Amino acid sequence: MGQLASQLLHGQVCDIPSLPQLQCADKRSRVHFKCAICIWNLLLSTLKMRSKELSLSVKEAIIRLKKQNKPIREIARTLGVAKTTVWNILKKMECTGELSNTKRPGRPRKTTVVDDRRILSLVKKTPFTTVDQIKNTLQEVGVCVSKSTIKRRLHQSEYRGFTTRCKPLVSLKNRKASLEFAKQHLTKPSQFWNKILWTDETKINLYQSDGKRRVWRRKGTAHDPKHTTSSVKHGGGSVMAWACMAANGTGSLVFIDDVTADKSSRMNSEVFRAILSAHIQPNAAELIGRRFTVQMDNDPKHTAKATKEFLKGQKWNVMQWPSQSPDLNPIEHAFHLLKTKLKGKCPKNKQELKTVAVEAWQSITRDETQRLVI
């Protein structure tokens, strides 16, 4: 098989036993249609044929050489075209007396190459532009095409319309600070990360907003209560919670309205200090040990003067944290796990929501927190 493949690639010897002396390469022009090498060489020669239309000067040269009684084979070799092309040109001249290209069937393309480039340029410069805006821009330069045509040109260039991903607006200063923080901590060993107690607050809705859901049902049963999802304004109520975690597992999940005097979910520096005083030391002792580092973001209540004085009095090692860097905090991903677990729950009120939230938070395993931190 390898020998035959080598012969096919190099066009060496004809494989017809009765004609061993004939060559199937460029030395001979005959083709044996029962010979694999001949067929291979024929395919190669076909692929090498020019696919572009012949210019009028080449066609005129074919007619001129034919009038000089040159054979088709010689004309093809002289002009570098296929013999069938020469024969077709001569046949067309004999039948129609014309050398111009025949008009092709079907409607011609509405846009030129320049128009296509203009459409792509508009999208590249302003990715949020609409098809209507592109259409109006083209009309200003005298190009009238439909919105469907514009979409097809964009699809042909592998452009598709997508819903934008929401990202927090981060200033250049804070972006640089986050990058510098990441570089400084890139090579920190796992022992360093194991000593950090991560903290933050999150909002938990009574009705989790998990987007569209699919349901199996029969036609005409769309409004059956079994086939619908409940929707309420503003999430139907919510609770604010403070939580902490370490690589070794999750810590406390504290609800703000259980701490405030007026049972509201509004947290200020005083409430924040009360939570830290009650929960930092016990959670750190259980999850980390005597020596630990507390992480918190730069929320105003975290950086208030009273909070700073409180932290200084506690003599805790507080991690310096860049502003607007929620993506660097592994507890944000733990909150995502918590809310994912809550999607299968159906609490009827805030108290039931708190109960299932605590259960979901405690169900996050040590392996999961270690993957988030390390």
What DSSP letter does each residue of 117-128 carry, written as one string?
Answer: HHHHHHHHH-TT
Give yes or no: residues 60 and 39 share one domain: no
pLDDT of residue 367: 97
Give yes or no: residues 98 and 119 share one domain: no
Token look-up 């929707």 returns 231
Per-residue pLDDT of the chain (374 residues; tens, 9 = 90+): 444 444 434 444 444 444 333 444 444 445 555 566 666 566 655 554 445 678 888 888 999 999 999 999 999 998 888 999 999 899 888 888 888 777 767 788 889 999 999 999 999 998 889 999 999 999 999 999 999 999 999 999 989 888 777 777 888 999 999 999 999 999 999 999 999 999 999 999 887 654 456 666 777 877 777 767 665 555 567 899 999 999 999 999 999 999 998 888 889 999 999 999 999 999 999 999 999 999 999 999 999 999 999 999 999 999 999 998 878 999 999 999 999 999 878 888 899 999 999 999 999 999 999 999 98
pLDDT of residue 273: 96
Does 178 fall in a domain?
Answer: no
pLDDT of residue 169: 81
d(CA 268, CA 259): 11
Give yes or no: residues 77 and 122 share one domain: no
Give yes or no: residues 94 and 122 share one domain: no
List beta partners, residue 244. Answer: 199
Query: b/e map of 153-174 (b: 16 or more CB within 10 Å)?
Result: bbeeeeeeeeeeeeeeebeeeb
**Count of domains in the chain?**
4
- CA-to-CA dists, residue 192 to 19, 179, 292, 319, angstroms: 80, 19, 9, 12
SS3 letters across 126-187 = CCCCCHHHHHHHHHHCCCCCCHHHHHHHHHHCCCCCCCCCCCCCCCHHHHHHHHHHHHHCCC
Give yes or no: residues 196 and 143 share one domain: no
Give yes or no: residues 42 and 96 share one domain: no
Give yes or no: residues 146 and 261 share one domain: no
Query: Cβ of 190: how many Cβ atoms within 10 Å?
Result: 11
pLDDT of residue 34: 55
Give yes or no: residues 151 and 297 share one domain: no
Structure tokens at 261: 């005097």
d(CA 173, CA 82): 66
Pairing of the two strands 196-205 and 238-246: antiparallel
Give yes or no: residues 207 and 302 share one domain: yes
Pairing of the two strands 249-255 and 293-295: unpaired
Contacts of 269 (CB under 8 A, 6+ apart): 301, 304, 306, 307
- CATH code (residue 305): 3.30.420.10
Does 74 fall in a domain?
Answer: yes
pLDDT of residue 28: 45
Give yes or no: residues 127 and 38 share one domain: no
Does 222 fall in a domain?
Answer: no
pLDDT of residue 368: 97
The amino acid that residue 78 corresponds to is T
Contacts of 117 (CB under 8 A, 6+ apart): none
Does 8 fall in a domain?
Answer: yes
Structure tokens at 90: 């001569």
Write out the residue range of the structural domain in which residue 128 sits: 113-156
Among 51, 50, 26, CA closest to 38: 26
d(CA 370, CA 131): 47
